[in-house]
Amino acid sequence: MNKILKFPLGFAWGASTSSYQVEGGIENCDWSKDFPAGIACDHYCRYEEDFDLLKKLNQNAYRFSIEWSRIEPEEGKFDEKEIEHYRKIILALRKRGVEPFVGLWHWTSPLWLKNKGGWESKEVAHYFSRYTEKIVSSLKDNVKFWITINEPEIYATHSYIMGIWPPKKKNFLSFFLVINNLIRTHKESYKVIKRIQPTAQVGIATNNTYYEASNDPISCLLKKIIESLDHFYILDRIKNYQEFIGLNYYFHNRIKLFKFNQNENKLVSDMGWEIYPEGIYYVLKKLKKYQKPIYITENGVADREDKFREDFIRDHLFWVHKAIEDKVDIRGYFYWSLMDNLEWHRGFEPEFGLINIDYNTLKRKPRPSAFYYARICQKNQLILDSEF
Protein backbone atom coordinates (compact mmCIF):
# COMPACT_ATOMS: atom_id res chain seq x y z
CA MET A 1 0.00 0.00 0.00
CA ASN A 2 1.29 3.45 -0.92
CA LYS A 3 2.00 5.98 1.83
CA ILE A 4 0.85 9.59 1.47
CA LEU A 5 2.80 12.42 3.11
CA LYS A 6 0.77 15.62 3.29
CA PHE A 7 2.45 19.02 3.51
CA PRO A 8 1.09 22.02 5.48
CA LEU A 9 -1.68 24.12 3.98
CA GLY A 10 -0.29 27.12 2.13
CA PHE A 11 3.03 25.41 1.44
CA ALA A 12 5.04 27.24 -1.23
CA TRP A 13 5.91 24.97 -4.16
CA GLY A 14 8.20 26.51 -6.73
CA ALA A 15 11.50 26.72 -8.54
CA SER A 16 14.37 29.20 -8.55
CA THR A 17 16.52 31.09 -11.05
CA SER A 18 18.98 33.97 -10.94
CA SER A 19 19.18 36.89 -13.33
CA TYR A 20 22.67 36.44 -14.76
CA GLN A 21 22.16 32.72 -15.32
CA VAL A 22 18.96 32.97 -17.36
CA GLU A 23 18.16 36.49 -18.58
CA GLY A 24 20.77 37.18 -21.24
CA GLY A 25 22.04 40.57 -22.38
CA ILE A 26 23.87 41.48 -19.17
CA GLU A 27 27.13 43.07 -20.32
CA ASN A 28 28.09 45.55 -17.61
CA CYS A 29 28.59 43.42 -14.51
CA ASP A 30 31.75 41.96 -12.99
CA TRP A 31 31.11 38.52 -14.52
CA SER A 32 30.54 39.69 -18.08
CA LYS A 33 34.13 39.60 -19.31
CA ASP A 34 35.47 36.40 -17.71
CA PHE A 35 32.29 34.33 -17.85
CA PRO A 36 29.98 35.84 -20.49
CA ALA A 37 26.40 34.59 -20.42
CA GLY A 38 25.51 35.98 -23.85
CA ILE A 39 21.82 35.52 -24.55
CA ALA A 40 21.68 32.74 -21.89
CA CYS A 41 18.06 31.44 -21.93
CA ASP A 42 16.68 34.78 -23.14
CA HIS A 43 14.41 34.74 -20.10
CA TYR A 44 14.48 38.54 -20.18
CA CYS A 45 12.36 38.46 -23.33
CA ARG A 46 10.63 35.10 -22.86
CA TYR A 47 9.47 35.34 -19.26
CA GLU A 48 5.77 35.17 -20.21
CA GLU A 49 6.37 31.87 -22.00
CA ASP A 50 8.40 30.57 -19.08
CA PHE A 51 5.74 31.57 -16.56
CA ASP A 52 3.09 29.80 -18.62
CA LEU A 53 5.17 26.65 -18.24
CA LEU A 54 5.67 27.31 -14.53
CA LYS A 55 1.90 27.58 -14.12
CA LYS A 56 1.38 24.42 -16.21
CA LEU A 57 3.69 22.67 -13.75
CA ASN A 58 1.37 23.69 -10.87
CA GLN A 59 3.90 25.85 -9.05
CA ASN A 60 2.54 28.58 -6.78
CA ALA A 61 5.82 30.39 -6.04
CA TYR A 62 8.89 31.51 -7.96
CA ARG A 63 12.23 32.75 -6.70
CA PHE A 64 14.25 35.02 -8.98
CA SER A 65 16.78 37.81 -8.66
CA ILE A 66 16.98 41.38 -9.87
CA GLU A 67 20.13 42.34 -11.76
CA TRP A 68 21.78 45.26 -9.92
CA SER A 69 23.84 46.22 -12.98
CA ARG A 70 20.64 46.74 -14.99
CA ILE A 71 19.02 48.88 -12.32
CA GLU A 72 22.06 51.04 -11.54
CA PRO A 73 24.32 50.90 -14.60
CA GLU A 74 26.18 53.98 -13.40
CA GLU A 75 26.75 54.91 -9.78
CA GLY A 76 23.69 56.69 -8.42
CA LYS A 77 21.83 56.63 -11.76
CA PHE A 78 18.82 54.35 -11.85
CA ASP A 79 17.24 53.01 -15.02
CA GLU A 80 13.46 53.38 -14.68
CA LYS A 81 12.90 51.27 -17.80
CA GLU A 82 14.62 48.30 -16.18
CA ILE A 83 12.69 48.79 -12.94
CA GLU A 84 9.51 48.72 -15.02
CA HIS A 85 10.70 45.47 -16.63
CA TYR A 86 10.93 43.78 -13.24
CA ARG A 87 7.56 45.22 -12.28
CA LYS A 88 6.11 43.51 -15.36
CA ILE A 89 7.75 40.24 -14.32
CA ILE A 90 6.19 40.46 -10.86
CA LEU A 91 2.77 41.35 -12.26
CA ALA A 92 3.02 38.46 -14.74
CA LEU A 93 3.57 36.11 -11.79
CA ARG A 94 0.71 37.66 -9.81
CA LYS A 95 -1.59 37.28 -12.83
CA ARG A 96 -0.89 33.54 -12.74
CA GLY A 97 -1.40 33.23 -9.00
CA VAL A 98 2.33 32.77 -8.31
CA GLU A 99 3.99 34.31 -5.25
CA PRO A 100 7.24 36.13 -6.14
CA PHE A 101 10.27 35.67 -3.88
CA VAL A 102 12.55 38.49 -5.00
CA GLY A 103 16.32 38.34 -4.57
CA LEU A 104 18.29 41.56 -4.51
CA TRP A 105 21.78 40.11 -5.06
CA HIS A 106 22.82 36.79 -6.58
CA TRP A 107 26.61 37.23 -6.95
CA THR A 108 26.85 39.72 -9.83
CA SER A 109 27.67 43.40 -9.28
CA PRO A 110 27.84 46.51 -11.50
CA LEU A 111 31.20 47.33 -13.06
CA TRP A 112 31.29 50.68 -11.26
CA LEU A 113 31.16 48.83 -7.92
CA LYS A 114 33.97 46.53 -9.04
CA ASN A 115 36.06 49.59 -9.83
CA LYS A 116 35.44 50.90 -6.31
CA GLY A 117 36.71 47.72 -4.68
CA GLY A 118 33.61 45.56 -4.91
CA TRP A 119 32.66 43.76 -1.72
CA GLU A 120 35.92 44.79 -0.08
CA SER A 121 34.84 48.44 -0.18
CA LYS A 122 33.99 49.96 3.18
CA GLU A 123 31.14 51.79 1.42
CA VAL A 124 29.50 48.70 -0.11
CA ALA A 125 26.73 48.54 2.52
CA HIS A 126 25.82 52.14 1.69
CA TYR A 127 25.78 51.45 -2.05
CA PHE A 128 23.64 48.36 -1.62
CA SER A 129 21.23 50.09 0.76
CA ARG A 130 20.71 52.84 -1.80
CA TYR A 131 19.93 50.23 -4.46
CA THR A 132 17.65 48.37 -2.04
CA GLU A 133 15.73 51.55 -1.21
CA LYS A 134 15.11 52.25 -4.90
CA ILE A 135 13.92 48.71 -5.66
CA VAL A 136 11.71 48.25 -2.62
CA SER A 137 10.14 51.70 -2.95
CA SER A 138 9.33 50.92 -6.57
CA LEU A 139 8.07 47.34 -6.27
CA LYS A 140 6.76 46.94 -2.72
CA ASP A 141 3.08 46.97 -3.70
CA ASN A 142 3.34 43.53 -5.29
CA VAL A 143 6.16 41.87 -3.32
CA LYS A 144 5.87 40.29 0.12
CA PHE A 145 9.09 38.22 0.27
CA TRP A 146 12.57 39.71 -0.16
CA ILE A 147 15.86 37.77 -0.14
CA THR A 148 18.71 40.20 0.33
CA ILE A 149 21.78 38.08 -0.45
CA ASN A 150 22.33 34.62 -1.90
CA GLU A 151 24.89 32.29 -0.33
CA PRO A 152 27.35 34.83 1.07
CA GLU A 153 29.69 32.08 2.26
CA ILE A 154 29.86 30.41 -1.18
CA TYR A 155 30.51 33.70 -2.94
CA ALA A 156 33.25 34.75 -0.53
CA THR A 157 34.96 31.35 -0.64
CA HIS A 158 34.98 31.04 -4.44
CA SER A 159 35.96 34.67 -5.04
CA TYR A 160 38.47 35.35 -2.26
CA ILE A 161 39.94 31.97 -1.20
CA MET A 162 39.68 29.68 -4.22
CA GLY A 163 40.07 32.61 -6.62
CA ILE A 164 37.75 31.08 -9.23
CA TRP A 165 35.11 33.83 -9.44
CA PRO A 166 35.50 37.59 -9.84
CA PRO A 167 37.58 39.29 -8.59
CA LYS A 168 39.68 36.08 -8.54
CA LYS A 169 41.63 36.71 -5.35
CA LYS A 170 43.26 34.28 -2.93
CA ASN A 171 43.49 36.21 0.29
CA PHE A 172 42.15 35.17 3.70
CA LEU A 173 42.05 38.75 4.98
CA SER A 174 39.93 39.77 1.99
CA PHE A 175 37.69 36.75 2.60
CA PHE A 176 36.91 37.72 6.19
CA LEU A 177 36.49 41.37 5.23
CA VAL A 178 33.98 40.42 2.52
CA ILE A 179 32.05 38.02 4.78
CA ASN A 180 31.63 40.73 7.38
CA ASN A 181 30.73 43.31 4.74
CA LEU A 182 28.03 40.95 3.47
CA ILE A 183 26.67 40.54 7.00
CA ARG A 184 26.68 44.30 7.56
CA THR A 185 25.08 44.87 4.17
CA HIS A 186 22.27 42.43 4.94
CA LYS A 187 21.54 44.19 8.23
CA GLU A 188 21.47 47.64 6.64
CA SER A 189 19.35 46.40 3.74
CA TYR A 190 16.95 44.73 6.17
CA LYS A 191 16.47 48.01 8.03
CA VAL A 192 15.82 49.85 4.77
CA ILE A 193 13.21 47.31 3.66
CA LYS A 194 11.40 47.34 7.00
CA ARG A 195 11.34 51.14 7.08
CA ILE A 196 9.73 51.29 3.63
CA GLN A 197 7.58 48.16 3.97
CA PRO A 198 7.05 47.17 7.63
CA THR A 199 5.03 44.06 6.74
CA ALA A 200 7.69 42.67 4.38
CA GLN A 201 9.11 39.22 5.00
CA VAL A 202 12.89 39.50 4.69
CA GLY A 203 15.45 36.72 4.70
CA ILE A 204 18.81 35.58 3.42
CA ALA A 205 19.67 32.38 1.51
CA THR A 206 22.56 30.38 2.95
CA ASN A 207 24.17 27.21 1.62
CA ASN A 208 24.42 24.66 4.44
CA THR A 209 26.36 21.42 4.09
CA TYR A 210 25.57 18.33 6.15
CA TYR A 211 28.80 17.50 7.98
CA GLU A 212 29.18 13.97 9.32
CA ALA A 213 32.10 12.91 11.51
CA SER A 214 33.72 9.56 12.05
CA ASN A 215 33.47 8.29 15.60
CA ASP A 216 36.73 9.71 16.90
CA PRO A 217 37.52 12.85 18.95
CA ILE A 218 39.44 14.71 16.22
CA SER A 219 36.74 14.25 13.56
CA CYS A 220 33.98 15.26 16.00
CA LEU A 221 35.89 18.39 17.07
CA LEU A 222 36.56 19.42 13.47
CA LYS A 223 32.88 18.93 12.65
CA LYS A 224 31.83 21.28 15.45
CA ILE A 225 34.35 23.94 14.42
CA ILE A 226 33.44 23.81 10.73
CA GLU A 227 29.71 23.86 11.40
CA SER A 228 30.08 26.90 13.64
CA LEU A 229 31.85 28.73 10.82
CA ASP A 230 29.90 27.42 7.84
CA HIS A 231 26.37 27.31 9.29
CA PHE A 232 26.16 29.63 12.22
CA TYR A 233 28.71 32.45 11.83
CA ILE A 234 26.42 34.40 9.52
CA LEU A 235 23.05 33.32 10.91
CA ASP A 236 24.04 34.06 14.51
CA ARG A 237 24.90 37.62 13.54
CA ILE A 238 21.72 38.34 11.63
CA LYS A 239 19.22 36.39 13.75
CA ASN A 240 17.38 39.58 14.70
CA TYR A 241 17.40 40.86 11.11
CA GLN A 242 15.25 38.33 9.28
CA GLU A 243 11.72 36.97 9.29
CA PHE A 244 12.72 33.69 7.62
CA ILE A 245 15.74 31.60 6.68
CA GLY A 246 16.36 30.53 3.09
CA LEU A 247 18.18 27.19 2.94
CA ASN A 248 20.10 26.02 -0.13
CA TYR A 249 21.08 22.37 0.29
CA TYR A 250 23.36 20.39 -2.04
CA PHE A 251 26.30 18.92 -0.13
CA HIS A 252 27.30 16.19 2.29
CA ASN A 253 30.81 16.13 3.75
CA ARG A 254 32.05 13.14 5.75
CA ILE A 255 35.05 13.99 7.95
CA LYS A 256 37.58 11.35 8.98
CA LEU A 257 40.42 12.65 11.13
CA PHE A 258 41.95 15.51 9.09
CA LYS A 259 40.49 14.34 5.81
CA PHE A 260 37.38 15.89 4.32
CA ASN A 261 34.89 14.72 1.69
CA GLN A 262 35.39 11.10 2.64
CA ASN A 263 31.99 10.35 1.12
CA GLU A 264 30.91 7.00 -0.26
CA ASN A 265 29.63 8.64 -3.48
CA LYS A 266 27.25 5.79 -4.20
CA LEU A 267 25.31 8.14 -6.46
CA VAL A 268 26.67 11.36 -7.95
CA SER A 269 25.28 14.06 -10.21
CA ASP A 270 26.68 15.15 -13.58
CA MET A 271 28.75 17.66 -11.56
CA GLY A 272 30.31 14.83 -9.53
CA TRP A 273 28.44 15.95 -6.40
CA GLU A 274 27.29 13.18 -4.08
CA ILE A 275 23.50 12.87 -3.85
CA TYR A 276 22.68 12.51 -0.15
CA PRO A 277 19.02 13.35 0.55
CA GLU A 278 19.10 12.43 4.25
CA GLY A 279 21.47 15.32 4.91
CA ILE A 280 18.77 17.92 4.36
CA TYR A 281 16.92 16.56 7.41
CA TYR A 282 19.89 17.07 9.73
CA VAL A 283 20.59 20.56 8.39
CA LEU A 284 16.95 21.56 8.90
CA LYS A 285 17.01 20.19 12.44
CA LYS A 286 20.03 22.36 13.27
CA LEU A 287 18.31 25.45 11.87
CA LYS A 288 15.36 24.87 14.21
CA LYS A 289 17.25 26.65 17.01
CA TYR A 290 16.66 30.02 15.33
CA GLN A 291 12.87 29.64 15.66
CA LYS A 292 12.29 31.14 12.23
CA PRO A 293 10.22 29.84 9.33
CA ILE A 294 12.42 28.09 6.75
CA TYR A 295 12.02 28.09 2.98
CA ILE A 296 14.20 25.66 1.04
CA THR A 297 15.22 28.19 -1.59
CA GLU A 298 17.44 25.84 -3.62
CA ASN A 299 17.74 22.07 -3.92
CA GLY A 300 18.48 20.47 -7.25
CA VAL A 301 20.62 18.15 -9.33
CA ALA A 302 22.61 18.31 -12.57
CA ASP A 303 21.13 15.43 -14.56
CA ARG A 304 21.14 15.93 -18.32
CA GLU A 305 19.50 12.57 -19.07
CA ASP A 306 16.85 13.05 -16.34
CA LYS A 307 17.79 9.61 -14.98
CA PHE A 308 17.45 10.32 -11.27
CA ARG A 309 15.88 13.77 -10.86
CA GLU A 310 12.50 12.28 -9.97
CA ASP A 311 14.07 10.13 -7.25
CA PHE A 312 16.14 13.13 -6.11
CA ILE A 313 13.01 15.24 -5.59
CA ARG A 314 11.08 12.42 -3.94
CA ASP A 315 13.87 11.46 -1.55
CA HIS A 316 14.67 15.01 -0.47
CA LEU A 317 11.01 15.79 0.10
CA PHE A 318 10.69 12.64 2.20
CA TRP A 319 13.35 13.99 4.56
CA VAL A 320 11.87 17.50 4.45
CA HIS A 321 8.57 16.03 5.55
CA LYS A 322 10.28 14.12 8.35
CA ALA A 323 11.72 17.43 9.60
CA ILE A 324 8.22 18.94 9.50
CA GLU A 325 6.97 16.00 11.58
CA ASP A 326 9.74 16.87 14.05
CA LYS A 327 8.29 20.39 14.41
CA VAL A 328 10.70 22.25 12.14
CA ASP A 329 8.73 25.20 10.66
CA ILE A 330 9.26 24.62 6.93
CA ARG A 331 6.98 26.62 4.65
CA GLY A 332 8.20 26.04 1.12
CA TYR A 333 10.41 24.15 -1.32
CA PHE A 334 12.01 25.63 -4.45
CA TYR A 335 13.70 23.25 -6.86
CA TRP A 336 16.88 24.52 -8.53
CA SER A 337 16.35 25.33 -11.27
CA LEU A 338 13.22 26.07 -13.27
CA MET A 339 15.27 25.77 -16.46
CA ASP A 340 18.77 24.83 -17.61
CA ASN A 341 21.08 27.82 -17.37
CA LEU A 342 24.64 29.12 -17.10
CA GLU A 343 26.21 27.21 -14.22
CA TRP A 344 28.63 30.04 -13.44
CA HIS A 345 32.27 29.18 -14.26
CA ARG A 346 31.23 25.73 -15.51
CA GLY A 347 29.30 27.17 -18.43
CA PHE A 348 26.13 25.77 -19.97
CA GLU A 349 27.00 22.08 -19.85
CA PRO A 350 25.51 21.16 -16.43
CA GLU A 351 21.73 20.87 -16.73
CA PHE A 352 19.77 21.37 -13.50
CA GLY A 353 16.49 22.40 -15.11
CA LEU A 354 13.02 20.99 -14.76
CA ILE A 355 12.77 22.51 -18.22
CA ASN A 356 15.37 21.65 -20.84
CA ILE A 357 16.72 24.53 -22.95
CA ASP A 358 17.93 23.83 -26.48
CA TYR A 359 20.59 26.54 -26.74
CA ASN A 360 20.55 26.42 -30.53
CA THR A 361 16.86 27.25 -30.82
CA LEU A 362 16.03 28.34 -27.23
CA LYS A 363 13.11 25.94 -27.35
CA ARG A 364 11.76 24.99 -23.93
CA LYS A 365 10.79 21.41 -23.13
CA PRO A 366 9.74 20.23 -19.67
CA ARG A 367 11.45 17.02 -18.65
CA PRO A 368 9.45 14.00 -17.37
CA SER A 369 10.65 14.78 -13.83
CA ALA A 370 9.02 18.22 -14.13
CA PHE A 371 5.61 16.58 -14.46
CA TYR A 372 6.36 14.32 -11.50
CA TYR A 373 7.13 17.41 -9.41
CA ALA A 374 4.00 19.09 -10.83
CA ARG A 375 1.82 16.33 -9.38
CA ILE A 376 3.34 16.89 -5.95
CA CYS A 377 2.74 20.64 -6.24
CA GLN A 378 -0.86 20.12 -7.35
CA LYS A 379 -1.80 17.70 -4.58
CA ASN A 380 0.40 19.25 -1.84
CA GLN A 381 1.49 15.74 -0.99
CA LEU A 382 4.15 13.14 -1.67
CA ILE A 383 3.08 9.61 -2.53
CA LEU A 384 5.57 6.89 -1.66
CA ASP A 385 5.24 3.45 -3.18
CA SER A 386 5.35 0.38 -0.97
CA GLU A 387 8.99 -0.31 -1.88
CA PHE A 388 10.30 3.02 -0.59
Instruction: Express each pLDDT in 312-327 by its tens digit.
Output: 999 999 999 999 999 9
Largest CA distance in the chain: 62
Instruction: Express each pLDDT in 260-301 by its tens digit.
Output: 899 999 999 999 999 999 999 999 999 999 999 999 999 999
- Helix, strand, coil percent content, the chain, rounded in steps of 5: 45, 20, 35
Q: How many Cα atoms are found within 13 Å in the side-chain-facing hemisphere of 16?
A: 25
> How large is the average pLDDT for residues 215-220?
92
Domains present along the chain, CATH in parentheses: 3-384 (3.20.20.80)
Backbone angles phi, psi at 185, to 5 degrees: -65, -45
Instruction: Express each pLDDT in 48-62 by its tens digit.
Output: 999 999 999 999 999
Distance CA 370, CA 313 (A): 10
> How large is the average pLDDT for residues 236-254?
97
Mean pLDDT rounded to a whole number for the chain: 97
**What is the structure's pLDDT at 387?**
67
Count of CB atoms within 10 A of residue 325's CB? 9
Q: Which of 151, 153, 188, 351 is catalytic?
A: 151
Sign of CA dihedral 186, 27, 41, 134: positive
Contact 231, 238 (CB under 8 A): no
For residue 249, CA distances in Å to 120, 144, 203, 205, 358 come to: 27, 24, 16, 10, 27
**What is the structure's pLDDT at 258?**
86
Q: Is the pLDDT of residue 359 over 70?
A: yes
**What is the structure's pLDDT at 388?**
65
**What is the structure's pLDDT at 231?**
79
Confidence of residue 184 (pLDDT cuts 50, 70, 90): very high
- State if pTM tops 0.95: yes
- Residue of 270, 347, 254, 348 whose CA lies nearest to 303: 270
Instruction: Express each pLDDT in 16-73 by its tens digit.
Output: 999 999 999 999 999 999 999 999 999 999 999 999 999 999 999 999 999 999 999 9
As beta bridge partners, residue 332 has 12, 295
Q: Which of 188, 227, 274, 298 is catalytic?
A: 298
Report percent pLDDT > 90 for the chain. 96
Instruction: Express each pLDDT in 92-143 by its tens digit.
Output: 999 999 999 999 999 999 999 999 999 999 999 999 999 999 999 999 999 9
Contact 135, 66 (CB under 8 A): yes
Q: Is the pLDDT of residue 385 over 90?
A: no
**What is the structure's pLDDT at 1?**
75
Asked if 298 is an active-site residue, the reply is yes
Top pLDDT among 283 and 228 is at: 283
Confidence of residue 229 (pLDDT cuts 50, 70, 90): confident
Distance CA 286, CA 243 (A): 17
